[in-house]
Amino acid sequence: MSDALSRLTPEQYRVTQQDATGPPYRSEFWDHHEAGLYVDVVSGEALFASVHKYDSHTGWPSFTVPVAPGNVVERADNSHGMVRVEVRSAEGDSHLGHVFSDGPVDGGGLRYCINSAALRFVPVDDLDAEGYGAYRELFGPSAVDP
């Protein structure tokens, strides 16, 4: 894992390893609409899919559900005078962001508010080549048989 950490940008390190928050409305994925998978920038574990992404009007990428619930762990965060639930990647232990209960009701009611700096994006067309082919079915029938 130390090799992966050495490849991070200062912002990625600050967010994933020091629990920082990236800026709203100026991050790489807050307004990103391409079909694909978002993975942990440190460990590569699959975290979120574009099909579960929505505009929460907060300035950060927001998702209704992780692609594999076991890849995202939650823990209490009482920092900054607030009571929140932090989300981290299970394998990489990267700080991802927070989960809130104000998400779309038809999507389960949760909003995973995630820092772009904690993510790497894998387009649908690259899923197989990058070892994420098992997630292709999330993107519908046209993505299953490329």
Alpha-carbon distance 83 to 93, whole Å? 20
Annotated catalytic residue 113: yes
Catalytic position from the list 37, 113, 122, 127: 113
Is the torsion defined by CA of 3, 119, 100, 74 positive or negative?
A: negative
Contact indicator for 88, 98 with CB cutoff of 8 Å: no
How many Cβ atoms are within 10 Å of 134's Cβ, its own excluded?
A: 12
Task: Report in angstroms the alpha-carbon separations of 84 from 61, 100, 104.
Answer: 17, 8, 18
**Alpha carbon distances (Å) from 111 to 52, 66, 82:** 10, 10, 17
Residues labelled catalytic: 113
